Amino acid sequence: MANLREAQKQMTRRLLLESGLELFKTKGYAATTVDDIATAAGTTRVTFYAYFPSRSDLMRALIDEQLNEKLERVRSPEHGSTARDLVATVAEGTHEAIMAWLRRTSELWPAVRPIIRIGRDASVVDPDLPDLVERWMEEAIADIEDGLTAAGRLEPYQRHFRGVLAMSQLDYVAQHWDGSDWKIGRDEMLEELGASWVRLLN
């Protein structure tokens, strides 16, 4: 019986997260209320608050749980979260390893893009969420720095900033690829991005 109750709790929590994400996508973060989310999830405001103290906390959970789950990022005491495959890819540093990682990651862009966009919108209007996505981006930058450190490549002072440059490129391309006319195919775009990463990280 206890296991059933726990499963129901997890299902309710997931429904609230999924309903929040869908409403944030369609109505926008600022226009979506706690009542909207609770209703869409088939529950009540009281139940919402049993799982999340505020709309801000639900937004944080979308970043900390759903986004990290999609990208296979795990909790890290040093950085908040880490993607071990990214650290290993950067440490290897070869064109083949970087291209394989970028191809895998690019398959996730349609699922990842809305969460990042909503997180940035939320940071603008919600004083409880300053720099929400940017802090998360710093965790990914730290992975690149860790990979470079493990490989002993570049000077220590260069490693973090090279990560900033690499993740800035990736973020911009991932956020704008579908809606831009860059006169380049997807495969060619990934090759150009990969070549840039190889130059930056070696």
Report residue 154 as tokens: 């570049």
Instruction: Tell me the pTM.
Output: 0.90
Q: Outline where the chain has alpha helix (H).
A: 2-27, 34-40, 45-51, 55-61, 68-70, 84-92, 95-106, 109-125, 132-151, 156-176, 186-200
**Which 3 state secondary structure label does DSSP give 74?**
strand
SS3 sequence of 32-60: CCHHHHHHHCCCCHHHHHHHCCCHHHHHH
For the stretch 73-126, pLDDT in tens is 888 888 888 899 999 999 999 999 999 999 999 999 999 999 999 999 999 999
Report residue 108 as tokens: 């996730």
Q: Single out the residue of 146, 147, 201, 128 nearest to residue 170, CA to CA.
A: 201
Q: What domains lie within the chain, and their CATH numbers?
A: 1-52 (1.10.10.60), 56-200 (1.10.357)
How many CA atoms lie less than 13 Å away from 152 in the CB half-sphere?
A: 0
The overall average pLDDT reported for the chain is 93
Q: Does pLDDT of 2 surpass 70?
A: no
Report residue 42 as tokens: 């088939």
- Measured at the alpha carbon of residue 131, what is the angle toward residues 57 and 48, in degrees to the nearest 5? 10
Under 8 Å CB-to-CB from 32, ≥6 apart: which residues? 20, 23, 24, 55
* DSSP 8-state secondary structure symbol assigned to residue 79: T
For the stretch 141-184, pLDDT in tens is 999 999 999 999 999 999 999 999 999 999 999 999 887 788 89
**Residue 80, strand partner residues:** 76
